[in-house]
Each structure stands twice: as structure tokens, then as C-alpha cells.
Chain A
Amino acid sequence: MSAAMTNEKTGNAPRGAGKKQIDRLLLTIIGYVFISLLAIVCIIPFLLIISSSLTEEAKIVENGFQLIPTAFSVEAYTLLFKYPAQMLKAYGVTIAVTALGTLAGLFLTAMTAYVLQRKDFKWRNKFSFFFFFTTLFSGGLVPWYLMIVNYLDLKDRLIVLILPMLLNVFYIIVMKSFMSSIPEAITESAKIDGAGDFRIFIQLILPLSKPALATIGLFIALAYWNDWYNALLFISNENLMPLQYYLYKMLGNMDGMRKAMVSSGAVVTMNIPTESLKMAMTIVATGPILLAYPFIQRYFVQGLTIGAVKG
């Protein structure tokens, strides 16, 4: 029964009769118009980027970005893939870091969040505050850097790309809020059956939290995927450079050098398609995520509900 209900809720098949159909229709119209508008606003800049990444640099300088390439060129991509082995390695590092980091991070986030949302856990507010406090005050870059480099000695190790981002208070708290919508009765009855807290978490709570896990998992994965800052600070070994940093370095070196040349009085001239390169980088970095996205998406776009599971 409730499974059928789920379908009905998430689908948009008109149901009932008379005035109910009108409000359904109205909502459908509003929905399509509003969402279409948003989608258009979101997709046009991206099309602009794709097109510009395939345009000759000179034409971009002349005409600005255009939705349709005025002079087709793959120069930017050729330049990006000039050292294909490096590029593949960078993809490899990013994928490995993202996969490991997301798995570990998601598990720890969920575990922490679960404890914090347990209403019978005496110190939940205190621990919440203990975690939350770190988002308000920070000692800044230098001591954090010293910690990681001098005490933990993580410099130039793959783990430095994973560890500092393993947990994020924001994700923990959002996760906690999602989990608190799981009826307490589930924990209670399991406890009566003699299950331990950890087992309840693994066997009951995790399966019930799929939309939350998918969402937070996505966020964690995106954070790992897009991170270049940790690599910037801690990685100098070229074999450990993740994709985003590799790309950032390529572009940054060109821009940064122009500025330095002026200050130092040095004379070096370069011819680099900076504009189209920037655009191509966006595509190269986003592509794989867009391909993987639909697989995660189904968890939060489609109804998986407590009711359905209970029924």
C-alpha cells in the first residue's frame, strides 16, 4: 500500500476528479515553467563554456565568448593533454582520493551524526557544540600547516589529500538533521531486542538513511573531487597531483608569471590560449562527475521513504 503511495506521490499522474485535477494541472504548469527557466539559466553559461573551449583563442579575444564557435579549434584540449601520462595520473589520483575519502568520510560522518541525534545520549548537545565551535574559530593557515607538516609529517603523501578533509561539521550536522526524521521507535524496539548501538547503526539506521547518505556522500565526493588547496600546500611530487591542482597549476603558472615578469624586470613572452584553456579545464574537470551523476541521483530524486521501508 505505502509503496504504491510512494509512486503516486512522486509521479505526477493526475488523480481524483474535478477540482483536484485543476490544482494538479496548475502545479504542473508552474513546475515546468519555473524549472525550465532555472534550467535554461543554468545551462547557457555551460554551453558558452563548451563552445569557447572549442574556439580559437584569437577569436575569443576579438569577439568574446560565443554560443557557437566562430572558428573551431581544439588547441586548448591539445595543450591540456600535451602530457597525456601526467593527465591520466592526475585523474587516477583524484579518483582514488575521491573514492577512499568519500567512503571513509561518509561512514564517519554518519556514525558521528547518529550518535549526536540520539535523544537518549546525554552529552549530545555538548558534543555538537564541541564540533560546531571549530567552524567559528580557527587558528588560521600557519598552525594548521605546521600541524600537518611538522607533527603529522604528512607532506607529499597521498593521505594528506584525504585526511584533513575527512570530516566536516556542516555535513555532520546536516546528516544529523536528516537522521532525526527516522522514528525513534526503530532504535527503541531494536534495543529491546538486545541489539547494541553500533549494530543498530549499521543494520537499521544506515539502510534507512539512503537519501541522506546519497546527498552527503555526493557533497563529500564533490569536495574531494574539486579540492586543489591541500595539494597546493602539501604535494610537490608530480605523481601525487590530483586533477584540479594539475589544471590550476597549468593556468596559474601562466597568469602568475606574467605578473612576476613585470615586477622582476624579466623578459619572457609566451603565447598561451588562456581564455579557451580556462574553459577547457572546466569541461575536463566536470566531465567525469557529470557522467557519474545519474547513478547517485536516483537516490535523492526518487522516493525512498521510511513509509515504504516500514511497509
Chain B
Amino acid sequence: MQNKKPFILLFALVLVLTTVLSACGSNNNAGNNTEASNAPSEGTTEPAANDGNSEELVIKMLLVGGKPIDYDTVFGELNKKLKEKVNAAVEAEFLDWSDWTQKYPLKFAASEDFDIAYTANWAFYNDQALKGGFLELTDELLKKNMPLTWEAMPAVAWEQSKVNGKQYMVPNNNPEVTDKAVLIRDDLRKKHNLDPVNSPETFANYVKTIAANEKGINAYNAKAADGWKWHELDQILLEQQNEWNLVDYNMPLAYKLDDASGKVFNVYDTPEFKELLKYYKDLADNNAWSKNVVSNKNDVWQDMKAGKTASYAQNLGTVAMNLAELRREQPEVELAIADLTPDKKKIAAISTQNGFGIHAPSKKAERSLKVIDLLQNDKEIHDLFMYGIAGTHYEPVGDDKFNATAGTPNFTGFSNWGANSPLNRKDASFPAEADAIADAWQQKVYNFDLETFVFNDANVKNEVANIGNVMLRYAIPLEYGLIKDIDKGQADLIKQLQAAGIEKLQTELQSQIDAFLASK
């Protein structure tokens, strides 16, 4: 028994060693980062000759997406231009779509060497910013290094991308409406002599008729369940239809667009939601969608192409490209884009859907901003970064359109979207009717005080996590009509939400909104 001691000593030694080793590491990191938070001043220590670009720098970028096949050629060209203009070259590291969610935070945690990182509201922008992953971008810094962007970017876009009142992102400049539309089989609609689909009622009629008369076709289908917490028609039938704005799709809290006081409410606890549940239940009882829609593992668009699905909802750009694709491949099948809420107010896309941030420890912050400036707002460089080499990867059509070529697939598929700007070209094959809808939507864009409000969930992380779970578990089956008694289902849902802390969340959100509005 006496010999236990040495062993315990050994064990203790290991633990001490462990702690010391790791502590050293964290100190190193901490060291790096404290230096880094002062980086703007360091950035300015670049030799001050003429424009501050005398030293040639390699800027490392962290992009999300697969490495494009022609990366070397295109970035070679790009770097020639960048060398000329800001004496810099960029080198991109690509985090594959398959695993970026795991790798992206690790790159920050390990303080790896990169200067620019793609970021977006759906790519943990708020979180990364709050954890100190990004450098704060002061107006001075932006004005000095990003003259073109400073000129072109609307104030709303800057405001929307602030976290706790501080700027950590150069957002993309692409104020398009990204509302959802429904893609339907127009040939089937005509076959059954139905009215054009342009409202929830006509859509219900279409779906029910198809379900009753077309064997082997799902009248409506939703994408494979990937954790989305809403019925896929909710954005159209709940949000767009009622002119609400859901603050964050991970929680069921919204305000009315025209409510200047910004009063927040639980959408599940509204008469509108109750009505919608009845609408959905009616569709479900009429077999509008598969009983297994929640477990669907197939790609809806593939199903639609195979003639197994007769409608689905997606953002306008995507359904438009689907339409164009089918016109090329199966001209005998007629599709149409249905806008179910044509007369409602529209919201411009939030600017944080795409953007670039500067890695906090970067020593090349200023030059990095200069590079982003050009990527977004220099026509030549923007074209290269977004579309590749003219004639190889795309065929320019005038100044604002392009045609895809055989080489297009060799330079696409990654998040160059951070550089979206009014200089973007449009696909010339984009269907005219989609353009018409987009233009009509643009006319109806509604501006309101709260459009630049961003919720900071730092104090209510637990509640957000639990409420998201409740939505998946109770709201989704209810909305897809899988629960027999919808009144009871709704009551259950609300009860579960309360248990998960919806009230605390709502209070927190409301107080942030009130403070925001008061400061206006």
C-alpha cells in the first residue's frame, strides 16, 4: 500500500505538467490577442511612404466553400491587379462546405495565421465578434482604407452589421429582397383549369386539386430536414402575409413592420398562427404533402424535376434558376413562379447575409481592408473575384450581365459573396418573369427604424438553445399537420415554450429593442 504514494505523485506530476503546458499556451494566445486588439495602430506602422503600400504584403483569406478548380489561374490574375493597385497579393484557404462549421471556429481558437475571414449572420458572425475573433473596424480605419466602399455602402448596411454598436464586418452591398416564392407546375394547373396561383387561397386550391387527382405526385414538398425550425411556407404565409418581421429564425418572436413602438410578440400565440394552423391542417388532411415530409431525405428540386413533386418554396433567385434549368432540359414541362403575397410590404435583405471580417490578431489589417475595398468595388477586380476570367469562366454581356460558359463550374461554389455589390452581374438566362417579380418587390421595399436592429443573445443563450429545440420538437409536427388536435398541439407548444424560458427571452429582446429605439 505504501507504494500508492509514488504513483499518486506521478499522477499529480502529470496533472501539473498538463496545467503548466496548457497555461503557457493560453498565455501565448492571450498575448497574441491583446497585441492584436491594438492592431489598428500597428497596422499604421506600415512604412508611411506615399500611400503606405511600399512593402509588398501577402494577405491570407479564409473562405468558406470548396477550392475552385481554376483557383491558381484566377487568383494569379487577381494578384497581378492587386499588386499594381495596393502592392499586395491574396492567398485563400478554403474551408469545405462539408466541414466548415467545425473548422471555422477552431481556426480562430488556435489563432491561426489569416487576415481576412468570410463571415455572415449564418456563419456565426455575432458570436465570433463577441468572442473577440474580429478586429473592430472604426470609421477612421474604414474611411482611410476603403474609400470606394465608404462611398458606395448605404448607412443601413453598416448599421445592420454592428454588434453591440461596434463594427466588425464589411458587409456585402446587395440590398435585394430575398423573400420566398413558390415554384409550381403550371402545366398541371392548366390541365385542371385552376386560377393562377397568387394568394394563399389559390395555392391551397392548386395543392388540393393536384393531391386529389395526380397519383404518385406530392402536391407540395419541403427540403430534407436539416434543423430548420419552421414550416417552409411560414416565411410566406406567416411573415410576409402578415407583414411581420421575425427577429431571428431561431426563435418565434416578431414585431409588426409598421409598429413604431416595436412591440414583440410570440407568433405561436396569435390568432394569425391559429388560422394558419387550420390552413396547414386542411392541406395535410388532403394529402398535400407526404406524411413523412419531416423525415424527407431527398432533394426537393430533384424530386420536382423527376415529376414527383408539384410545388416547393424557396428564395426567388433559386426558383428562378430552377425554372431556367428546366426550360433548358425539359421544355415540355411548364413551371411558374407563384408569388403568394404580391401586395405586401417587402424587407430588403439584411446586409450581414455575407461579408468579410478582419481576424483580430492580423498585423495587416489596413492592407486587408484595401483589398476588400477593391474586391467589392473595383469593376475589374470584382469581376475577376466573382466570375473568374472573362471568356473562360463567363461571357460578359454588357456591363451588368453574363452568360455561363463551359468553364463556369471551374470557378464557382465558394463564398466570394462577401464581395457582392451593385457591380454584380446578372445571369443573362435569368427568367424575365422572375426579374419582373424582383422589380415589383423592389418597389415595395419598406424602410423602418428597426431594420438595423440586431439582437444580442449573449445573456439568453440557454433560452435560445432550448427554445430552438422546442420549435423543432413541437412546432414542426404541428405545422405539418401531424398532430391530430391542433388546438391542443398549439397549447402544448406554448406551454413548452414557457418552460423553455420564452418570457425571459421576450423581455430581454423587448428591452434591447426599446433601448435601440430610444437611442434613435
Q: Footprint of B on A, CB under 8 Å?
A: 57-58, 61-62, 122-123, 126, 130, 141-143, 145-146, 149-151, 232-233, 236, 238, 248-249, 251-271, 274-275
Interface residues of B in 312-362 (CB under 8 A from A): 314-315, 317-318, 320-322, 325, 349, 353-354
Distance in angstroms between the alpha carbons of A64 and B471 in the assembled complex: 30
In this assembly, does B270 line the interface, its C-beta being within 8 Å of a C-beta of chain A?
no
Chain B binding surface, main DSSP class: mixed
| Residues of B contacting A126 in the complex (Cβ-Cβ under 8 angstroms) | 7
Whether B22 lies near A145 (C-beta < 8 A) is no
| Residues of B contacting A270 in the complex (Cβ-Cβ under 8 angstroms) | 413
Chain A binding surface, main DSSP class: helix
Measured CB to CB, the closest approach of chain A to B15, in angstroms, equals: 11
Contact of A149 among B93, B110, B303, B417 (CB under 8 A): B110
Whether B98 lies near A146 (C-beta < 8 A) is no
Whether A262 lies near B97 (C-beta < 8 A) is no
Interface residues of B in 27-79 (CB under 8 A from A): 28, 64-67
Whether B308 lies near A61 (C-beta < 8 A) is yes
A-B contact pairs, 22 of them (CB 8 A): A61-B302, A123-B3, A123-B7, A145-B109, A233-B102, A233-B103, A236-B93, A249-B98, A253-B96, A253-B98, A256-B97, A256-B98, A257-B65, A257-B66, A258-B299, A262-B314, A263-B120, A264-B354, A264-B415, A265-B174, A267-B317, A270-B413
Whether A274 lies near B299 (C-beta < 8 A) is yes
| Residues of A contacting B303 in the complex (Cβ-Cβ under 8 angstroms) | 61
Q: Which residue of B lies closest to A127 (CB)?
A: B7
**Given A262-B315, A271-B325, 6 more contacts at CB 8 Å?**
A123-B7, A233-B102, A233-B103, A253-B96, A265-B353, A269-B325
Whether A265 lies near B98 (C-beta < 8 A) is no
Contact residues on B (Cβ < 8 Å of other chain), bracket: 35 or more
| Residues of A contacting B109 in the complex (Cβ-Cβ under 8 angstroms) | 142, 145-146
Q: Which residue of B lies closest to A260 (CB)?
A: B97
| Residues of B contacting A143 in the complex (Cβ-Cβ under 8 angstroms) | 22
Whether A251 lies near B98 (C-beta < 8 A) is yes
In this assembly, does B140 line the interface, its C-beta being within 8 Å of a C-beta of chain A?
no
Q: Which residue of A lies closest to B64 (CB)?
A: A260
Closest 10 CB pairs of A and B: A252-B98, A256-B97, A263-B122, A267-B317, A253-B66, A61-B306, A269-B321, A265-B178, A253-B97, A257-B97
Distance in angstroms between the alpha carbons of A262 and B315 in the assembled complex: 7
> With A126-B7, A267-B317, A274-B299 in contact, is A253–B65 under 8 Å at CB?
yes
Measured CB to CB, the closest approach of chain A to B180, in angstroms, equals: 10
Q: Which residue of A lies closest to B316 (CB)?
A: A267
Whether B97 lies near A264 (C-beta < 8 A) is no
Measured CB to CB, the closest approach of chain B to A127, in angstroms, equals: 9
| Residues of A contacting B305 in the complex (Cβ-Cβ under 8 angstroms) | 58, 61
Whether A142 lies near B413 (C-beta < 8 A) is no
Whether B318 lies near A269 (C-beta < 8 A) is yes
Whether B102 lies near A260 (C-beta < 8 A) is no
Measured CB to CB, the closest approach of chain A to B65, in angstroms, equals: 7
Measured CB to CB, the closest approach of chain B to A121, in angstroms, equals: 13
Contact of B413 among A233, A255, A257, A275 (CB under 8 A): A257
| Residues of B contacting A236 in the complex (Cβ-Cβ under 8 angstroms) | 93-94
In this assembly, does B25 line the interface, its C-beta being within 8 Å of a C-beta of chain A?
yes
| Residues of A contacting B307 in the complex (Cβ-Cβ under 8 angstroms) | 62
In this assembly, does B226 line the interface, its C-beta being within 8 Å of a C-beta of chain A?
yes
In this assembly, does B474 line the interface, its C-beta being within 8 Å of a C-beta of chain A?
no
Distance in angstroms between the alpha carbons of A275 and B299 in the assembled complex: 10
In this assembly, does B449 line the interface, its C-beta being within 8 Å of a C-beta of chain A?
no
| Residues of A contacting B498 in the complex (Cβ-Cβ under 8 angstroms) | none
Whether A145 lies near B98 (C-beta < 8 A) is no
Q: Which residue of A lies closest to B180 (CB)?
A: A262
Q: Which residue of A lies closest to B324 (CB)?
A: A269
In this assembly, does B145 line the interface, its C-beta being within 8 Å of a C-beta of chain A?
no
Measured CB to CB, the closest approach of chain A to B108, in angstroms, equals: 10
Whether A265 lies near B317 (C-beta < 8 A) is yes
| Residues of B contacting A149 in the complex (Cβ-Cβ under 8 angstroms) | 110, 112
Whether A232 lies near B99 (C-beta < 8 A) is yes
Contact of A268 among B98, B99, B412 (CB under 8 A): B412
Whether A264 lies near B122 (C-beta < 8 A) is yes
In this assembly, does B392 line the interface, its C-beta being within 8 Å of a C-beta of chain A?
no
Whether A263 lies near B353 (C-beta < 8 A) is yes
From B11, B97, B174, residue with most partner A Cβ within 10 Å: B97
| Residues of B contacting A58 in the complex (Cβ-Cβ under 8 angstroms) | 305-306
Distance in angstroms between the alpha carbons of A265 and B180 in the assembled complex: 10
| Residues of B contacting A249 in the complex (Cβ-Cβ under 8 angstroms) | 66, 96, 98-99
Q: Mark B107-144, 1 if CB is under 8 A from A, else 0.
A: 00111100000001110000000000000000000000
Whether B25 lies near A264 (C-beta < 8 A) is no
Whether B321 lies near A232 (C-beta < 8 A) is no
| Residues of B contacting A232 in the complex (Cβ-Cβ under 8 angstroms) | 98-99, 102-103
Whether A145 lies near B110 (C-beta < 8 A) is yes
Distance in angstroms between the alpha carbons of A236 and B412 in the assembled complex: 19
